[in-house]
Amino acid sequence: MTDAEDPPAEDDAEWTEKAARALSSPLRMRVLRLCRFDARTNKELAQLLDVNPGTMLHHVRTLVDAGMLAPEAERVGERGAREIPYRSTGLSWHAPRAPNQSVVLIETMRQQLQGVDPEAVQVSWLGLRLNAAHRAELEARLQDVLEDLAAREPDPDGESSSLVIVLHPENNPPAAGD
């Protein structure tokens, strides 16, 4: 499956279960990120993520089974071994939301930031108090921006970046008398 193909219907129970399982692991989320623009072999992924190749194979197979990674043409590795590179299909973008998705994404982001120069990370945090209509407007505008960015082809001279937007309720009730 490629980005151009339609994702399975959200009422496809088998695919929904496979997608939820595939996206329930920060490691698999990181694999998808690493394979978004470049096809990578199981061995390359294991090295990049510092995990056992056998463990990585399990995660790659889970993503392939859910249609989120697709094998590309077999190639010959450094020592003459057959290698299969995998590329993200973009299908994860269309997957139904899993109950624990926010926790998995935040943990994935935390892992991604390990070893990154803090000065290279741009962070903003804004407290808001919005009524339902304004919150829905904000969510729609953010989704439009994300959809636009997801649909773009990568810039050949571009630098890989991640964008995380977290909108959450706060434990910050109005003060008495407000």
Q: What domains appear along the chain, each with residue ranges and CATH number?
A: 13-118 (1.10.10.10)
Confidence at residue 178, expressed as pLDDT on a 0 to 100 scale: 61
Instruction: Specify burial of residue 41 (Cβ count, 10 A radius: 0-12, 13-18, 19+).
Output: buried
Contact 39, 87 (CB under 8 A): yes
Crossing angle of the two packed helices 26-34 and 101-113, in degrees rounded to 10? 60
Contact 89, 70 (CB under 8 A): yes
Confidence at residue 47, expressed as pLDDT on a 0 to 100 scale: 96
Those residues of the chain that have pLDDT short of 50 are 1-4
Q: What is the pTM of this model?
A: 0.83
Confidence at residue 24, expressed as pLDDT on a 0 to 100 scale: 94
For tokens 């496809």, the residue is: 12
